[in-house]
Amino acid sequence: MAKRFTDTDMWDQDWYIELPNKYKLLWNYIKDKCDNVGVWRPNKSILQKILAEPLNLNEFLSFVNSDKERIREMPSGRWWVKDFFIFQYGNKFSPTSPVHKGALKSLLQNGIHPREILGLEIGNLQNVDFEELTSIAYDKSYGKLLEGYGKPTERVKEKEKDKDKDILLSNSNKVKIGEKDEKKQYKQFRSSASQGADLYVERIKRGMEEMRKRNGNENIEHEGRE
């Protein structure tokens, strides 16, 4: 089930208030049933079953477009809700967004150039023709789309800088960790050496004590014999 934003301020706008109720319902139906860029194919027989009233599509268009063009009737017979894209996705085209890239494909399939969406910021794509724009939109990677959008080299350089920075930080951390490990190993060695020296001294002390005891016993035995 698709989920879409709804303009609650619409209920305060004169053009919408003045619509006959069946056309209010039709407007809401179109916004819910159009594709991801606002394109919808009219089907009068289905609409009349839903509305349960006689329907005149030309009359509906004249009502909706009374003060400005809200719906454009295209050569294919489909209708395009012009403000749909900006309301749903914002006024700035993002070449790294999978949603925007998919929307760009839908626009091109319906013969709509993104520059026809008033207020949409599309960078250098503003000056790209349909043929080049199509090749950009259907390129498997985002590199070509970024290049067409404008100043991709600067973004690439920034990314490379960030990667180099990460590598330097990583290597720096490795060096610090290495230094810590070396210090730890040195302390362990010093501790082991110190313990070994203590044991060696203790062993010598015990050996000398045993020698003293033996010498003492030998002297006692020698005096006893005399």
pLDDT at 204: 64
The mean predicted confidence, pLDDT, of the chain is 77
Compute the average pLDDT of residues 69-89: 92
Stretch (H or E) spanning 87 = helix 84-89
Three-point CA angle 59, 47, 87, nearest 5°: 75
Least confident of 1-5, 62-66, 97-101: 1-5
Compute the average pLDDT of residues 43-64: 90
Q: Which residues contact 23 (CB under 8 A, 6 or more apart)?
A: 60, 63, 64
Q: Are 18 and 63 in contact (CB under 8 A)?
A: yes
**pLDDT tier at 69, thresholds 50, 70, 90:** very high
Distance CA 144, CA 146 (A): 5
Top pLDDT among 40 and 169 is at 40
Top pLDDT among 51 and 211 is at 51
Domain segments of the chain as ranges: 1-83, 173-226
